[in-house]
Amino acid sequence: MIEEFFKKNRELISRQLEIFLSIKGKELGGVPWGKEVSARLLSFSLGGKMIRGGLVLLAYDVFGGKNKQEAIRAACAVELLESSLLIHDDIIDKDYLRRGERSIFADYGENLGICFGDIGFFLAYEILPHGLREIFSKKSIEVGLGQMQDIYLSFSKKSIDEKDILEVYLYKTASYSCSLPLMMGAALAGRDQKTVLKMEELGKYLGVIFQIKDDELGLFGEEKEIGKAVGGDIREGKKTLYYLYLFERASGADLKRLKDVFGNKKIAKADILYVREMVKKLGVDKEINKKLGFYEKKAERLIGNEKLFKELLGLSLKRKR
Amino acid sequence: MIEEFFKKNRELISRQLEIFLSIKGKELGGVPWGKEVSARLLSFSLGGKMIRGGLVLLAYDVFGGKNKQEAIRAACAVELLESSLLIHDDIIDKDYLRRGERSIFADYGENLGICFGDIGFFLAYEILPHGLREIFSKKSIEVGLGQMQDIYLSFSKKSIDEKDILEVYLYKTASYSCSLPLMMGAALAGRDQKTVLKMEELGKYLGVIFQIKDDELGLFGEEKEIGKAVGGDIREGKKTLYYLYLFERASGADLKRLKDVFGNKKIAKADILYVREMVKKLGVDKEINKKLGFYEKKAERLIGNEKLFKELLGLSLKRKR
């Protein structure tokens, strides 16, 4: 089962991260903050589901890679990239809760938090196997640009359409969450450029599905399952497909209330329940499912009969956390 | 002359940065922000003195490197690292002026600024020649930690001694400003580990001298020469050797006024002139010169008869900008 695969590999990645970051902690023992930053980056990274690292190993397996140790190091690099992006993301969004714990922003503030993230990036490159650097940089740059667009859309007055939102999903999420690890696994297993590019494309579809499900969980999930505050996307007025479809379909008093609720830091639980109700009442959930079906078909065409990828697609559509 | 050397190589590094970042701008043309970020990182980087990039080429020359093109790419990586660190530094210090222009923080704010810096780091690693990654990451991590200690000392209540201040100079400045480029030049020219470590040590002494001169220029220089607001370190209450020696030596009304002035955002030109006067009256300038002489001796011992390094040391002690 694919859940078993991720669980087993999460263990392997965790062990490697422990080894790497405790060696770094010792090396940096004489530098102020050296031990503390290594230890916190380790505990923060260990708190992740390690789906991205797992995807490196999954693609590596599918393409018959033989040097598992190297693939695990690649997985660690992706996990450290992810941790660092989240650390900066929490500063940008002023999020106090992450992975079920106080965020690094909450504990250290913005300025030290910026440094935490920067150091995490440098560590990611240190453990990254040679030969993956170009892919790694290319996709990381896309995430940074996608993050900028996400920030921009959150304060811009321009009217936002589906293309804007999907662009953010593609660059901010799919690029490093799915395309990058799948490309790394394929490249590390010695596959040619064509296969690597096919993985990039598959990653796009899986990544968009992943993000839509993430939006759904942010709206309908429970805090203890998702490890962050429920309704955070509503409070931030985040431009998700849910947001877009709700505003396209609502009218009258409902439209007015939705406008009051989205982007309002002080909403109550009842407001979140109201948004949930509107999602159903206005058929937004059906529209979202149609979208998911569209990307599912695209992914299926690329996957063919590859069993692990098929299971992965299934999992990404039914995940609850 | 060494000034000529830096000037000529600044041209070469600039050309390479232009090529690299305009290619990236095209590659990223389809991604939101891709063109804009590439262009701004280019113009920002071109505004630097490129001392760090120049140092890579200087060490490469000294050690007889033969592939200048590769050394120029390494120099570009250091310059992009420097740009990105400064971008984050300006967010941390809320600095509106950098390299004589509005800072990226001033133009884009904190959140987009964080992404600008992150993307700069990824670009630095993309252009970095293979084989330098370990040195590059190691020193970059030290900068991040040094930056954290600098931030910490700025708000900490603990009494600060010379060791604390020199530690920040060593990690926040010397590590990437001098040790890293000298190590890169030596490693790229094929020198052994022993030579690379000697360059690390030389970089420490040069870097501390560089930082002390930077503090001096921040206090006594003119805005149009140094490209940032004069007295910024006083307004921030930055823990420099000047700060330490002033507070160790002042008493009575002077101590009271210095306490009022340091860390006060609203000081006038007269307050800066007063600090300058106190530096002389209390003999802080002589104490600083003794310190510079100490590091000069240490550097001289390592340099021996190497002409370019001797000139470099001379330049670092007499620079006016």
Quick check: A11 contacting B, CB < 8 Å? no
- The pLDDT confidence band at residue A227, using thresholds 50, 70 and 90, is low
Measured in angstroms, the CA of B119 and the nearest CA of chain A are apart by 5
Please judge whether B145 and A32 are an interchain contact, meaning their C-beta atoms are less than 8 angstroms apart: yes
Q: Output the pLDDT for position A173.
A: 96
B70 burial level (CB within 10 Å; 0-12, 13-18, 19+):
middle
Nearest residue of A to residue B113 by CA position? A148
Give B123's contacts in chain A (Cβ within 8 Å): 137, 141
Q: Tell me if chain B has a CB within 8 Å of the CB of A165.
A: no
Distance from CA of A252 to the nearest CA of B (A): 34
Taking CB atoms within 8 Å and a gap of at least 24, the contacts of A61-69 are: A61/A185, A61/A308, A62/A185, A62/A306, A62/A308, A62/A309, A63/A185, A63/A186, A63/A189, A63/A190, A63/A191, A63/A195, A64/A189, A65/A185, A65/A188, A65/A189, A65/A190, A66/A189, A67/A188
Q: Please give the radius of gyration of chain B, using alpha carbons only, rounded to the nearest integer.
A: 20
The label of the residue with tokens 């262009």 reads B39
Residue that is written with structure tokens 């790394």 in the block: A184
Average pLDDT for residues A88-110, to the nearest whole number?
A: 94
pLDDT in tens, A24-66: 999 999 999 999 999 999 999 999 999 999 999 999 999 999 9
Binary contact (A148, B112; C-beta < 8 A) = yes
Residue A316 has pLDDT above 90, yes or no: yes
**What's the mean pLDDT when you consider all of chain B?**
95
A contact test, residue of B80, B93, B111, B133 with most A CBs within 10 A = B111
Contact, B63 vs B20, CB < 8 A?
Answer: no
- B134 in Cβ contact with A145 (< 8 Å): no
CB–CB of A117 and B118 under 8 A? yes
Confidence of residue B226 (pLDDT cuts 50, 70, 90): low
- How many other C-beta atoms can be found within 10 angstroms of the C-beta atom of residue B224? 9
Helix (H) or strand (E) holding B157: none
- The whole-angstrom distance between B117's CA and the closest CA on chain A is 9
CA torsion sign, B206 to B208 to B211 to B215? Answer: negative
Q: Is B219 helix (H, G, I), strand (E, B) or coil?
A: helix
- pLDDT value at residue A254: 96
Average of per-residue pLDDT across B179-205: 98
Q: Chain B: give the shortest CA distance to residue A5, in Å.
A: 31
Q: What angle do CA B116, A198, A149 make, to 5 degrees?
A: 25
* Cβ–Cβ gap A115/B145 under 8 Å: yes
Nearest to A140 among B88, B122, B140 (CB): B122
A294 near B CB under 8 A: no
Cβ-defined contact of A122 to B144 (cutoff 8 Å): yes
Residue of A21, A118, A127, A161 best to disrupt the B interface, most CBs of B under 10 A: A118
The per-residue pLDDT for range A100-155, each reduced to its tens digit, is 899 999 999 999 999 999 999 999 999 999 999 999 999 999 999 999 999 999 88
Mean pLDDT of B180-196: 98
> Mutating which of B23, B27, B31, B76 best tests the A interface, going by the most A Cβ atoms within 10 A?
B31
Question: How far apart (Å, rounded) are the C-alpha atoms in residues A136 and B56?
Answer: 25
Provide, as residue numbers in chain A, all residues whose Cβ is less than 8 Å from the Cβ of B134.
126
**A111 closest CB neighbour out of B92, B117, B122:** B92
Best to test chain B binding among A92, A110, A148, A151 (most B CBs inside 10 Å):
A148
Cβ separation of A148 and B123 shorter than 8 Å? no
| Residue A244 phi, psi (nearest 5) | -60, -50
Chain A 226-265, residues with CB within 8 Å of chain B CB atoms: none
Q: Provide the pLDDT for residue B238.
A: 87
- Is-contact A84 A124, C-beta < 8 A? yes
Say yes or no: B115 contacts chain A, CB-CB below 8 A. Answer: yes
Strands B97-98 and B101-102: antiparallel
Q: Is the distance from CB of B79 to CB of B43 less than 8 angstroms?
A: no
pLDDT at residue A225 greater than cutoff 80: no
Across the interface, whether the CB atoms of A126 and B119 are under 8 A apart is answered no
Provide the percentage of residues in chain A whose pLDDT is more than 70.
98
Query: Which of A31, A134, A136 is opposite residue B142, by nearest beta carbon?
Result: A31
**Strand A97-98 to A101-102 pairing:** antiparallel
A164-223 confidence digits (pLDDT tens): 999 999 999 999 999 999 999 999 999 999 999 999 999 999 999 999 999 999 898 877
CA distance to partner chain A, nearest, from residue B144 (Å)? 5
**Mean pLDDT score of chain A:** 95
**Which of B 22-41 lie inside 8 A of A, CB atoms?**
24, 28, 31-34, 37
Residue B163 buriedness (CB in 10 A; 0-12 / 13-18 / 19+): exposed
Per-residue confidence band for A157, with pLDDT thresholds at 50, 70 and 90 = confident
Q: Tokens 């439209």 appear where?
A: A255
For residues A97 and A103, the answer to whether their CB atoms sit within 8 Å is yes
pLDDT at A220: 87
pLDDT-derived band at B21 (thresholds 50, 70, 90) equals very high
Determine the distance in angstroms separating the CA of A250 from the nearest CA of chain B, rounded to an integer: 29
Instruction: Give me the percent of chain A exceeding a pLDDT of 90.
Output: 88
| Reported confidence tier of residue B227, pLDDT bands at 50, 70, 90 | low
pTM: predicted TM-score of the whole model, two decimal places: 0.95
- What ipTM was assigned to the predicted interfaces of this complex? 0.95
For residue A226, name the pLDDT band (cuts at 50, 70, 90).
Answer: low
**pLDDT at residue B168 tops 80:** yes
* CA–CA dist A260, B222 (Å, integer): 51
pLDDT score for A121? 98
Q: Has residue B48 got a pLDDT over 90?
A: yes
Q: Is B171 on the interface with A (CB under 8 A)?
A: yes
Half-sphere exposure of B29 (CA within 13 A, CB side): 4
Query: B122–A134: do the CB atoms touch at under 8 Å?
Result: no
Residues B217, B226: Cα–Cα separation, whole Å? 7
Residue A233 token pair: 């996307």
